[in-house]
Amino acid sequence: MSSSKLLEPQSISYNQPVEHGQIHIVLPTKNSDFVHSARTPHNESPALSQAIHEFSTEYRKQPPSKKTMQHSYVEKYLPLESSPKFNSKYVNSEGGINYGMLLEDVDDIGGVVATRHTEWLGPSDIFTPCTVGTEQIYGNTQNSADDYKLVGHVAYTKGALMVCFVSLETFWGKHASIDTRILHPKRVPPIGVSNSRTVAIFSVTMLFFDKLTKRLSPVSQIECVTAQEEYIHSQFEAIHSARKQIINMNKAQEQLCLYGNELVNNVGSRVQQLSFVPDGGSQEFVFISDTLVKSNYVPTPQQRNSYGVMFGGYVARASYELACVGASYFLRSSEFRASQLNDITFLLPIEIGDHVRSKAEIIYSSDPLNKGFVTRVVVEARSPKDLDFKSAFIMHITFVPTDQTVQRKTVLPKTRKESILWQRGHDIVQTRNEYLSEYINEIRYIGFNFCKL
């Protein structure tokens, strides 16, 4: 890794020679010492803020040029084994990696990748990225405190849409001192080459807006330079298309629930077939509403991101922790682990000072052949000026018991709304896993392999 001199996170992309009475703007990819974290608020003087606004207004008028995946490549080391200080905050009670902290860093990496690819200059830039979703494509993380490295870069673009590739890899060798900030190395390794050390892969989807026009704004499109990069681009395009199909299917299901009983009858037949099959000798069941757990909190200024709202990684981590509470309450045991982050959807930004209400419930555990159960977390927020709660964040995550003696109850829907949730959980366990299995089997093409399976 590069040992070059690093700037502090507060001064990431510009220099301000006050003695000349001028402000010189430097684009992030032109600054070799670029260091950034989306969870760090920017401190801009009024003069600098005005300069960035004026510069970006003219800069964004130019058609965005094409960029390669190397432009946005960043990495972050997670020395869980080598650094006791880092280990103390990143390892769970069982000695494995804290999945909530991992989700926080994945969101952070996605924001930094977007910053580099679009040359985002700060809150005063008229170009604003917005995270809309995160999804786990593959996961084989061991429950052990090893040394890891997060790697991220842009994988797919279309118009104002950007999908980022984020992978978690193990690395070997003792290091006395490791910089744990997000860095862009001077020498970018080949992208898309087989890597047997990869243990998890995520996609982070973002949209970009123009503050002046209040409309979506196109980003620099990806230019693939190798066959491996072209393959990554095509696969992430397929993943994005599959996600759109799932979203459209969910909307259609909601319409069926509102205007007819077809969906409820369909779910009822599936419940009758699956829910009373003996599972470890137990036929005990609970309703979805009986698994509900809640939490409330108010975001503080320390939880702001670069855009002045609550950092999405904090929302994801808090939601994961609530999901764990719900899973423990459902199993009456703490012997479980996360097996799959099915999807995360960001709906609205959460402002500092909003009243945030989170709800977690088990929506599916009726498959006798699959020991996993799906937990859904919904985060709602309301402004002090508004009494209505609005959905801001939704997450689905699958847990599996690690203790074979723990009896997992069957979850059943009781209302039309719960019927939609039940079928959504059923689709996550069935359809989504089939798609992932097919996808993993196909990536061996042209020597590209995410990891040893």
Q: Does residue 322 surpass a pLDDT of 50? A: yes
- For the chain, the average pLDDT equals 78
Number of domains the chain contains = 2
Structural domain contains residue 253: no
For residue 15, give the CATH number of its domain.
Answer: 3.10.129.10
pLDDT of the residue at 255: 56
Query: Is 152 among the domain residues?
Result: yes
Are both 392 and 267 inside the same structural domain? yes
Same domain, 293 and 186: no
**Of the ranges 76-80, 193-197, 244-248, 300-304, which one carries the lowest mean pLDDT score?**
244-248
Residue 41 domain-assigned (yes or no): yes
Confidence of residue 41 (pLDDT cuts 50, 70, 90): low
Phi, psi of 176 (to 5 degrees): -65, -35
For residue 261, the model assigns a pLDDT of 45
Domain boundary among 182, 203, 225: 225
211 with 273, same domain? no
In terms of domains, do 213 and 308 share one? no
pLDDT of residue 386: 82
In the predicted structure, residue 414 carries a pLDDT above the cut 80: yes
Higher pLDDT, 140 or 54: 54
User: How far is it, in rounded angstroms, from Cα 150 to Cα 70?
Assistant: 15
Q: What angle do helix axes 433-442 and 227-259 make, rounded to 10 degrees?
A: 170
Write out the two tokens for 404. Answer: 């074979």
Q: Is residue 2 part of a domain?
A: no
Q: Per the domain annotation, does 386 fall within a domain?
A: yes
Which stretch, 236-240, 292-296, 444-448, has highest mean pLDDT? 292-296
Does one domain contain both 122 and 73? yes
Q: Are residues 119 and 207 in the same domain?
A: yes
Q: Does one domain contain both 273 and 367?
A: yes
Same domain, 199 and 266: no
The 3-state DSSP class for residue 27 equals coil
Quick one: 265 and 216 in the same domain? no
Query: Checking DSSP bridges between strand 215-216 and strand 285-287, what pairing results, if any?
Result: unpaired
Task: Kindly state whether residue 246 falls inside one of the protein's structural domains.
Answer: no
Report pTM: 0.80
Instruction: Give the pLDDT confidence score for residue 249 in this predicted structure.
Output: 67
Nearest-5° Cα angle at 241, 235 to 242: 90
Query: Mean per-residue pLDDT for 252-281?
Result: 47
pLDDT at position 57, please? 87
**Last residue within a domain, chosen from 179, 198, 225:** 225
| pLDDT at residue number 183 | 85
Single out the residue of 248, 253, 274, 277 nearest to residue 263, CA to CA. Answer: 253
Together in a domain, 336 and 210: no
Mean pLDDT (whole number) for 271-295 = 67
**Structural domain boundaries enclosing 336:** 260-439
Q: Are residues 116 and 198 in the same domain?
A: yes
Of 186 and 206, more confident: 206
Instruction: Report if residue 453 sits inside a domain.
Output: no
Q: State pLDDT tens for residues 92-141.
A: 777 677 888 899 999 999 989 998 899 888 888 888 888 888 988 887 77
Q: What is the pLDDT of residues 349-379, one digit of tens each?
A: 999 999 999 999 999 986 555 678 999 999 9
* Residues 43 and 176 both lie in one domain: yes
